[in-house]
Amino acid sequence: MLAPGCAMNKLACLRSTFAELGWTTGLLYLVSVGLRRFVPFLAVEKYYVVAQPVAARAVLPEKRGRNISVLMIESDHPLLAKLPRSREELARRFAGGAVCFLAMRDERIIGHLWVTRSPYREAVDRSEFDPRPSRKMAWDFDMWIMPGDRLGLAFARLWDECNSYLREQGVTWTCSRVSAFNRASLRSHARMGMRVMHTLIYFRAGSLELLLADVAPFLSVSFSRFPIVTLVAPLAC
């Protein structure tokens, strides 16, 4: 049995979750947590497909975050061996034209960010995202910051370097899929001027997957197929 203080903390946390996520998403979140804990072969996930403008200039002042170096690495870079991704997955990403940015401090990897202008397949919650037009739109994915550095400047340094690269390519918007349950990620993207474009809800039972979306294909049921979600750049670009 929980002590009164623990129960009060859990209640406050629950109230905060519903206040920030809303009742519908909050209930889906509780269902998702319960399924992961008690019925792991079943799952429900909700995502927002968001678009954020490529910043016209660096977010950080010139001298801030200079102890963090950001490298744009190629497919044969030795640092790739330190990433917790399989060789096959890394090869697939580079073969599809993806670019990887690594944030380094004291010779340690403290973060990474990937971006592509080609259609991208998400292996978890199967979907293929096709940003259009590719000359103006990119897809960013697998953004990760080491837990101890998430309150630091690694996030901003990665995005400053990535935005610089995208500006050189003539890209004006980048899209990504953000968990509707991840409040910290939503707040970070909001600070970068994100627009919510679409909502996706996935239901899984083993290898069977059901996708409900407010964009074509709207409804998809499959055991292995990757439904294609075409993303059109916001009119402002």
Cα(200)–Cα(9) distance, rounded to whole angstroms? 31
Contact 215, 229 (CB under 8 A): yes
The tens place of each residue's pLDDT in the chain, 237 residues long, gives 333 444 458 788 888 888 888 999 999 999 999 999 999 999 999 999 999 999 999 888 887 888 999 999 999 999 999 999 999 999 999 999 999 999 999 999 999 999 999 999 998 889 999 999 989 999 999 999 999 998 889 999 999 999 999 999 999 999 999 999 998 889 888 888 899 999 999 999 999 999 999 999 999 999 999 999 999 988 654
**What long-range pairs does 89-98 form, CB within 8 A, spacing at least 24?**
89/123, 96/120
Q: What is the CATH number of domain 41-232?
A: 3.40.630.30
